[in-house]
Structure 1
Amino acid sequence: MMEILTDRVTRYLLRRIRRLAVLDLYQHAAVAGLLDEIAYDAGGSTGPTMISRWSPTVELMHLLSLGDQGKQILARRLGHAGQHADSLAEHWQSQQAPAAAAREARTSSMSSLVSSSACDTELERQAASERKALAVLREQQPLPKAAPVAVALLIARAVGSHPGGWEALRSILRRPDPFIVMRIPVPGFQRHCGRSLEDGLIIPSWMKLDELVRLAGICDYGDRRPGKLRKRIKTIAGSEVHKISDRALSRALSDAVNSEPPPPILLVDQTNQDLPEIIMHAADLVLEADGLDHTLLSELLQICCGIAPKQSLALMREKGLTLDHLHLDDLALIVRPGRSSAEIVSAFEALREDRASDLESGDGEGSDGSGRRKSSGVPEWRSGAKPEEKRKSAGSATVEVIRPQPADAEAVLRVETLSGYGEAADWATSLKLDLDLWRNGLLDWSELSSRLLLSGPPGIGKTTFARALCNTLQVPLLATSVARWLEASYLGDVLKSINAAFTVASEHRPAILFVDEIDNLGSRASGDSRGHKGHDDYWASLINRVLELIDGAAKTEGVIIVAATNLPEKLDPALLRSGRLERHVQIPRPDIDALTGILAHHLGTDLAKVIETAPKSDTFDVTQVDGKLEPDATKSSVEHIPVNAKASGSRRNTV
């Protein structure tokens, strides 16, 4: 059976991981006094090349002479007690046979050149004894860590799915300065991919990762293994690229390409966002793969824990386990030798409930103020917290994430229960139907009306509408305002706050991004109207960035934008053009019918008692129909209803 490219790359990457594991094992044994390291110059063509030769000490030879007892002592000395080679997974074991066969072939070839003198025969016996000792030592090699193995499996899938085949890939990878984009939507992939590069686990070289753009690199690993000759590569994180202006990004790429010698460039992206056009056009190679799935996870458990794939697959399917919430750090913590498949899957289930709605783009998502994540393994609304409570989103204090209340909960604020919103309510109803079609793949996102500007006098209920829309559509509400963006004052920090708001919206999609007080941006046509004469460039930069991000969000499926203002006439006209906030709805003050519905909504079951306490009048004839007052009620009669009567504590003011 012909080996597919994915399997071939998987075998190669696992061999790289095993090579580093053997090196670490030898160094650990040297510290424990079991090996001696002798460094010598191999005389490479490019200069001095130092290579280590490892030889067993007398102590190691003595332990091996004790048989099984000596091996047990050896395992304790190395800290690997309880981990035996016979528990290694098939993929992990298969890396030992080719290497052992190659060593034996080299040994036989060298032996044929050695004379048959007694001295040479003794040297051969000593060499054979040392090789046997090193082979026994390698049996103590621990099972591999989950994170680098997961990175290897994901990269192998990305390479194997490339339509060009191996020959096309090899021709690009052999270039001295390739520009490669790797897109794998798994939280934490960027950082762990950088670690694997630095440790020489992806290509046969130790790498030094330089940031293409400052503070936008893929790894914070540092030089954990000093003294290694490293090749340099320029890197950039896909999660950070949207925070960089197109001009700055083009300039950085141009400087790298025109340097001498030009370095390789690698962009690693763990998000689902669209990358800038300049990236996609300039890249020599784009490798893409899906995220974690049951097959990949079962293979990971086989390699790292020796668990049979059929066993783990059956358990995951039985539990209906989903994996899109998992971070590679989660795999590193949970997938460890000695754990059963039931323990691992149970841990993943607990994380699913805790993080299914809080996917990690950064490492601090879902943490409290101290940076530590809540320890509860159940959703917040099951542990006593209200689902509508505000929670600050990681990476930006300018955005508050409000979760929708369950659709079957009592007294849920929904657009359907509001009165007086007219066109806005009709827009929300249509959007709900279209969103269901989009989720089922029956409607393209570009066909949805997903941009709305609400205007009206203060206190008319624009924020309330956004909250109700969150519950109607059953998607998160990401609340922010221009005033929060401007708290930073300095232009660079303000732009970062604006970028962060749209980034958070993209990470939580489908979601509603609600931007309040958008009139604070003003218009580029007249800086004097804002009272900031002489700072037009500052405000123009802000408006241009908001326009650019709205355009990008329009192309990003799942992001609904609702903006609110009291003064629509102060907005820049470009904000209202097609593809931006093209649907403008003015919310008027409530009329009699709207006031009647509002009072009925707030009073609820208390309405009948309120009517009973109303002053008697010949002209007052009000009854309750379907939770609302009869529309025949006159304004004077409605005003006589004691509106200070206590309503349910869960209800809020509608306007």
Structure 2
Amino acid sequence: MMEILTDRVTRYLLRRIRRLAVLDLYQHAAVAGLLDELAYDAGSSAGPTLISRWAPTVELTHLLSLGSQGREILSRRLGHADRHRDSLAEAWQSQQPSAAPVRDALVSSTSSLVSSSAFDTELERRAASEREALAVLREQLPLPKAAPVAVALLIARAVGSHPGGWEALRAILRRPDPFIVMRIPVPGFQRHCGRSLEDGLITPSCMKLEELVRLAGICDYGDRRPGKMRKRIKTIAGSEVHKVSDRALGRALSDAINSEPPPPILLVDQTNQDLPEIIMHAADLVLEADGLDHTLLAELLQICCGIAPKHSLELMQEKGLTLDHLHLNDLALIVRPGRSNAEIISAFEALREERASDLESGDGEGSDGSSNRRKSSSVPEWRSGAKPEEKRKSTGSAPVEVIRPQPADAEAVLRVETLSGYGEASDWAAGLKLDLDLWRQGLLDWSELSSRLLLSGPPGTGKTTFANALCNTLQVPLLATSVARWLEASYLGEVLKLINAAFTVATEHRPAILFIDEIDNLGSRASGDSRGHKGHDDYWSSLINRVLELIDGAAKTEGVIIVAATNLPDKLDPALLRSGRLERHVQIPRPDIEALTGILAHHLGADLAKVIETAPKPDKSGVAQVDDKAEPEATKSSAQQSRVNAKATGDGRIPA
């Protein structure tokens, strides 16, 4: 029974993959001028329903009339001339038992209709001709890609291994709001499963994937097929669920289930970690399957490359090939039509040796796609308690330095709460911290956060220090860059690449802070003469325009916080300060007596009391000679020392 159910689900999923491939082929043929897409109303009871009908053009009809020569031209027009489709088609068709009979029946019925008296009308002749042309065109169908086929085979195994059988599964899947957990420990399964859902390769319709918890979805794919009618589904990645607090996870599940109408919920897990108890108790259906094995890989090679399973299994056993190191991306790159069995198995074997050496050196990749240098997939790298010298990370050619926040419970951590003299900037940081927590719980939209700040002030007022402290306060990475580093490349094209790279790194590390220092070096488009580069205004305008575009894009990207710093705010282009960009401008003045007191107390810490004790004592002989005019200054100095003493002893009371 289990085997029969697995086979049924496999055939169903492969038919959906083939259906999408046929639609893509028709679209390609339409672009090549071989098909016309016609829309007509199917006239359903629910109202007008437009359905596409594909009709061959005169050019396609002419090519088909040329026989084998026309088919060769057709193959070249569709880009399939070098794929040797005739020798590979059998493997695909063998997995599609319903496709060949349907095609044979179509050709048979067409032949019988040609000789029948019912073919007297021109309309019937045209319909038969169109069906035959489309059947010939489908012979150009390329073999399927490895990644979606692997996803289909793994899902079929998970469904087939469910102890309840098909009837129990169907009862759950028919519910309007099922909560399904799918656990398949294959690296990359989460993302590729999301792709298959969006393309309609698993469910009867294309799905619109929505994150149950922000930045913890299963796909970063985007809408590759716009215009499709999509059904909503809430998703969450098993590799990310441990980063969400139980309280936030419970609230997100409750909000989704209590919404109207409630969407289906799907958790896809590619790790071997235990899931939170709330997940396992709330799930209506848990589907599990093992990872890749020789049988599944042999079936994959048959479908995607036309390689007989017997030959694949023999070679894998001879090589002693293990598959636990393989990522679904590896299958997509290595398993391609035209490659021989030996080439594919040898590539997998070489990859295994490379991955094994990476694991020995600590540079391997875990099942969630993250580095094995992490202590645990449930603990983000920047919370792992690394040494201070390990907190900074290179980003290759991007002009960005990644600074990880120090653990919140570490001693002597630089935080905004411990800084003095920042005034409005401190208030902004405190508000952002509260709002960021609400956003993580799904209680606040990103557009409602004040996530863009411009700091200005004389040199030495601590703008960079504030950015580092903000990193620790919010517990998110700080991505430090500067306009001076952007301009090192000099040539416009190279500078634009560096600017793009900085914002790309910020998107990849979100939630994160992008700190742009010396932003005044961009200047203003209205002040080209003041630079002394009047002849290069186009150069500077291009840079400023690109930065404005990227800031606009970052403002709409959830999780990207932008903090810029400048000594000369008057030199900035006014467009940078408009609403939606660096709209919050805080000026940091030079520290006053109160701020200096706090700065000394912060840097000296526990040594402050000892420093005060060793301060020179006033000369008592000179006290009596103090002029009356100096008395206010002496009183003021005494008050300042009292404040310092209060900071050192932890007493918040400051005497008047």
Give the TM-score category using the shorter length: 0.5 to 0.7
1:124 CA drift (Å) = 2.3
- Where 1:60 maps in the other structure, the secondary structure is helix
1:519 CA drift (Å) = 7.5
1:122 CA drift (Å) = 3.2
Distance 1:344 1:99, change over 3 A: closer
- Structure 2: gaps of 5 or more residues: 394-401, 419-429, 434-656
Residue matched to 2:244: 244
Distance 1:291 1:92, change over 3 A: farther
**Aligned partners of 1:130, 1:293: CA distance in 2, in Å?**
44
Q: Which residue identity lines up with residue 157 of structure 1 in the other structure?
A: R
**Aligned partners of 1:521, 1:107: CA distance in 2, in Å?**
83
1:418-567 → structure 2 map (5 Å cutoff) = 480-481=385-386, 520=411
1:43 CA drift (Å) = 3.0
Distance 1:184 1:22, change over 3 A: same
- Where 1:225 maps in the other structure, the secondary structure is coil
Contact 2:32 2:77 in 1 (8 A): yes
Residue matched to 1:209: 209
**Aligned partners of 1:50, 1:14: CA distance in 2, in Å?**
26
1:65 CA drift (Å) = 1.3
Distance 1:394 1:481, change over 3 A: closer
Distance 1:322 1:225, change over 3 A: same
1:481 CA drift (Å) = 3.9
Residue matched to 1:180: 180
Residue matched to 2:551: none
Q: Which residue identity lines up with residue 20 of structure 1 in the other structure?
A: L
**Aligned partners of 1:484, 1:44: CA distance in 2, in Å?**
68
1:125 CA drift (Å) = 2.4
**Aligned partners of 1:352, 1:497: CA distance in 2, in Å?**
36
Residue matched to 2:61: 61
Distance 1:59 1:365, change over 3 A: farther
Contact 2:392 2:404 in 1 (8 A): no
Q: Which residue identity lines up with residue 84 of structure 1 in the other structure?
A: R
1:200 CA drift (Å) = 0.5
Distance 1:365 1:350, change over 3 A: farther
- Where 2:207 maps in the other structure, the secondary structure is strand
**Aligned partners of 2:243, 2:2: CA distance in 1, in Å?**
45
1:80 CA drift (Å) = 1.1
In the alignment, does 2:301 pair up with 1:301? yes
Residue matched to 2:483: none
**Aligned partners of 2:90, 2:107: CA distance in 1, in Å?**
27
Contact 1:396 1:497 in 2 (8 A): no
**Aligned partners of 1:108, 1:15: CA distance in 2, in Å?**
23
**Aligned partners of 1:289, 1:267: CA distance in 2, in Å?**
14
**Aligned partners of 1:214, 1:24: CA distance in 2, in Å?**
32
Residue matched to 2:398: none
Contact 1:161 1:288 in 2 (8 A): yes
Distance 1:245 1:362, change over 3 A: same
Distance 1:293 1:205, change over 3 A: same
- Where 1:149 maps in the other structure, the secondary structure is helix
Task: Say which structure is richer in helix.
Answer: 2
Distance 1:47 1:235, change over 3 A: farther
1:351 CA drift (Å) = 1.0
Q: Which residue identity lines up with residue 289 of structure 1 in the other structure?
A: A
**Aligned partners of 2:279, 2:71: CA distance in 1, in Å?**
54
1:71 CA drift (Å) = 1.0
Residue matched to 2:621: none
1:119-198 → structure 2 map (5 Å cutoff) = 120-198=120-198
Alignment size in residue pairs? 403
Residue matched to 2:21: 21
Residue matched to 1:255: 255
**Which whole-Å deviations, capped at 9, do the CAs of 1:63-105 have from their partners, x for residues lacking one?**
1111111111111110111331441354544426447538948
Residue matched to 2:84: 83
Q: Which residue identity lines up with residue 166 of structure 1 in the other structure?
A: W
Distance 1:248 1:398, change over 3 A: closer
Residue matched to 2:102: 101
- Structure 1: gaps of 5 or more residues: 367-390, 401-477, 500-517, 523-527, 529-537, 542-655
1:325-336 → structure 2 map (5 Å cutoff) = 325-336=325-336
- Where 2:52 maps in the other structure, the secondary structure is strand
1:19 CA drift (Å) = 0.3
1:127 CA drift (Å) = 1.7
**Which whole-Å deviations, capped at 9, do the CAs of 1:521-574 have from their partners, x for residues lacking one?**
99xxxxx9xxxxxxxxx9xx9xxxxxxxxxxxxxxxxxxxxxxxxxxxxxxxxx
**Aligned partners of 1:215, 1:264: CA distance in 2, in Å?**
19
Residue matched to 1:509: none
**Aligned partners of 1:116, 1:288: CA distance in 2, in Å?**
57
Distance 1:103 1:84, change over 3 A: closer
Distance 1:96 1:34, change over 3 A: farther
**Aligned partners of 1:487, 1:306: CA distance in 2, in Å?**
49
Residue matched to 1:359: 365
1:304-315 → structure 2 map (5 Å cutoff) = 304-315=304-315
Contact 1:38 1:53 in 2 (8 A): yes
**Which whole-Å deviations, capped at 9, do the CAs of 1:184-215 have from their partners, x for residues lacking one?**
00000000000000000001101100000110
Q: Under a length normalisation based on structure 1, what TM-score does the superposition of the two structures give?
A: 0.56
Q: Which residue identity lines up with residue 88 of structure 1 in the other structure?
A: A
Q: Which residue identity lines up with residue 250 of structure 2 in the other structure?
A: S
- Where 1:330 maps in the other structure, the secondary structure is helix
Distance 1:487 1:306, change over 3 A: closer
Q: Which residue identity lines up with residue 242 of structure 2 in the other structure?
A: H
Q: Which residue identity lines up with residue 192 of structure 2 in the other structure?
A: H
Q: Which residue identity lines up with residue 209 of structure 1 in the other structure?
A: L
**Aligned partners of 1:293, 1:339: CA distance in 2, in Å?**
20
**Which whole-Å deviations, capped at 9, do the CAs of 1:613-642 have from their partners, x for residues lacking one?**
xxxxxxxxxxxxxxxxxxxxxxxxxxxxxx
Q: Which residue identity lines up with residue 101 of structure 1 in the other structure?
A: V
**Which whole-Å deviations, capped at 9, do the CAs of 1:117-142 have from their partners, x for residues lacking one?**
77x44332222222111111000000
In the alignment, does 2:230 pair up with 1:224? no
Residue matched to 2:554: none
**Aligned partners of 1:313, 1:300: CA distance in 2, in Å?**
12
1:15 CA drift (Å) = 0.3
Q: Which residue identity lines up with residue 17 of structure 1 in the other structure?
A: I
**Aligned partners of 1:144, 1:290: CA distance in 2, in Å?**
23
**Aligned partners of 1:481, 1:94: CA distance in 2, in Å?**
51
Residue matched to 1:578: none
Q: Which residue identity lines up with residue 302 of structure 2 in the other structure?
A: Q
Q: Under a length normalisation based on structure 2, what TM-score does the superposition of the two structures give?
A: 0.56
**Aligned partners of 1:29, 1:75: CA distance in 2, in Å?**
11
**Aligned partners of 2:365, 2:2: CA distance in 1, in Å?**
39
Distance 1:98 1:305, change over 3 A: closer
Distance 1:394 1:29, change over 3 A: farther
Backbone CA RMSD of aligned residues:
4.0
Distance 1:254 1:108, change over 3 A: same
Contact 1:213 1:236 in 2 (8 A): yes
- Where 1:207 maps in the other structure, the secondary structure is strand
Contact 1:83 1:142 in 2 (8 A): no
Q: Which residue identity lines up with residue 140 of structure 2 in the other structure?
A: Q
1:395 CA drift (Å) = 9.0
**Aligned partners of 1:187, 1:311: CA distance in 2, in Å?**
26
1:27 CA drift (Å) = 0.5
**Which whole-Å deviations, capped at 9, do the CAs of 1:35-61 have from their partners, x for residues lacking one?**
111012223444443211011111111
Distance 1:365 1:46, change over 3 A: farther
1:589-600 → structure 2 map (5 Å cutoff) = none
- Where 2:218 maps in the other structure, the secondary structure is coil
Distance 1:75 1:84, change over 3 A: same
Distance 1:498 1:200, change over 3 A: farther
**Aligned partners of 1:71, 1:260: CA distance in 2, in Å?**
53
**Aligned partners of 1:124, 1:134: CA distance in 2, in Å?**
16
Distance 1:30 1:192, change over 3 A: same
1:278 CA drift (Å) = 0.2
**Aligned partners of 1:250, 1:396: CA distance in 2, in Å?**
17
Residue matched to 2:42: 42
**Aligned partners of 1:300, 1:138: CA distance in 2, in Å?**
22
